Amino acid sequence: MYAFTYGSLDMSSFECLCPSFDFTVKQKDSEGRKKSQKKRKKSRAEEETDLKVEGNWKHGTFSTELVVMPLLAGWQTVVSRGRGKSASILDCFLTLKTEVPIMTEEQKQDLNPLTIKIKCVSCLPSQPVPLHELERLCIPVYCKYQFFKTPVHRTEGRPHGTHIRFQDINVIFLGAMQPSDLREYLEGPPMVVQVHDRDRKLEEYFRKPTLFGDDPLDAYLNLQSLISPEETESNPFESHNKIWDPYGVAQVSFADLLLGHKYLNLAVPIHSCEPRPTHRGQNGRSRKVVGFRVPTDGFQHNPMPMGNYLEANSVLKLRVDIAVPLRARAEAPDPEFTGTQFGRIIFVFDSKKISLFHDLLQDITMINAKALDMEAYPIRDIQQILSAFKMRVKIQERQDLDVLTGFHLLDGKIHLLILEGLADQGLKRLWDSHQSRVTKAEQGSSKVLYNSALRFHHRLYADLETILYQVHLFKPLSQLMKCSALCIRNSVLQKAFQALTRCTRLPRG
């Protein structure tokens, strides 16, 4: 049973409800004409006053939407307020109330709803752009995120300020997902919540086109040093009319849910997003896309300046509730995880351990040769073939192909091998062979990171063309990370810089 309550309504008619809970009120023009004919003639001053009122209010259709997502989170009453303006509607409150919760306990056990409630964003920066300028130039503040493969969720916009309350609720049914996929997602990188507090209002921009040869940089388009790789990823004919503005980024981790927690109260710091790649020409104008020039006359054409989120100590506060706690990972892999499940292993040892490297490389070669039906060839020929071997068929599409993929990094001081393969087949044989060969004296000279219970559904290094990608650095990695050129923004891709940083933090033998 549902009860609807309306307050502060002054309307001539109210139409039936839509399945999407979009409530519409229409004013009939014919009734308005009949009433106007019966009224006395108005003076000129009264007519001017009526014209001013009509200019401030919208005539015609008045609609408001009722958010029903909180009902899935266990609420029994939801209230929405109309935001539109109408000449005959002063205000509108729409209430939906249920006598019992909309979900039974059995449905909660089967669907296992996960509720993500964004409470507020505190200490938003007021520099370098003051709040009154953000209010004038930008749309209301909103948050946006995507949990796993669900649709992107966007909160309602709120007025600008240093402290903004959202009280946004999103419900995701974990019972409809594969348990192994869900666990792999929760163990992986945190979910990214974007805080958009400086998105400019949409306007039409007309940019003056330029002929080839008019731009001073046209003569240097063949120089790769003037064009970063990121600038060539987008199609300028599709993106030159789109605007981009910076935003805040909060990384929310759900890993504690795997420990059996039923709720999480999180306060996550907000950082700045990665800056959009820009290139400045000799005329001082910002070139976001190769071949197009963007004028620099204020915020209307340039992106809004990045907010100082770290200096302002900006924080995103949210709460996560789960109906049925997730059980912790068992020590032994579940039967449903076997089959096409992949594992990963990392070897780190000194470059002087030549015998250890050759034995390990020989094991990898024989496992891949068996998977590719090349066991009949001599080991030396197989290594030469595999070193120049390029996969014509994507390994990602061959989930049952028992090959070891990954990369081998040599910098003159260490050997670093990161490998992946079928956990119960090739990768297990590699681990057993390594354990039987390495003596107790040699175990301290090498480091192996391996967890047989940690499984994955997809390969990370399936598109490297060669099965085992070789990387030989011209100087040790520890010395490369001390180079000041790596600290210059946009000189190195952010993902590449993160990969180098993680490699330097690996334990050494």
Residue with tokens 């780190």: 348
DSSP 500: H
Q: How far is Cα 282 from Cα 81, in angstroms, rounded to an integer?
A: 53
Give yes or no for a contact between 417 and 406, defined as CB atoms under 8 angstroms apart: yes
DSSP 141: B
Cα torsion at 293, 296, 298, 303 (round to 10°)? 60
Q: Phi, psi (5° rounding) for residue 84?
A: -80, 175
Count, residues in the chain? 509
So where are the chain's domains? 2-98, 105-322, 341-504
| CATH topology agreement for domains 105-322 and 341-504 | no
Can you give the pLDDT at residue 321?
96
Q: Which residues of the chain have pLDDT under 70?
A: 1-61, 84-85, 203-242, 277-301, 328-340, 387-397, 439-445, 464-466, 489-490, 508-509
Please name the amino acid found at residue 434.
H
Q: Which two tokens stand for residue 405?
A: 């993929």
Can you give the pLDDT at residue 194?
97
Q: How far is Cα 35 from Cα 38, in angstroms, rounded to an integer?
A: 5
Q: How far is Cα 48 from Cα 215, in angstroms, rounded to an integer?
A: 55
Can you give the pLDDT at residue 444?
59
Question: What architecture is the 341-504 domain classified under in CATH?
Answer: 2-Layer Sandwich (3.30)
- In CATH terms, the superfamily for domain 105-322 is C2 domain (2.60.40.150)
Q: Please give the full DSSP string across 51-83, using - where no structure is assigned.
A: HHHHHHS--SEEEEE---HHHHTT-SEEEEE--
Q: How far is Cα 134 from Cα 336, in angstroms, rounded to an integer?
A: 52
Q: How far is Cα 318 from Cα 351, in angstroms, rounded to an integer?
A: 48
State the sign of the Cα–Cα–Cα–Cα dihedral 464, 470, 475, 479: positive
Q: Residue 358's CB: how many other CB atoms inside 10 A?
A: 10
Q: Which two tokens stand for residue 311?
A: 């200096």
State the sign of the Cα–Cα–Cα–Cα dihedral 96, 100, 105, 107: negative
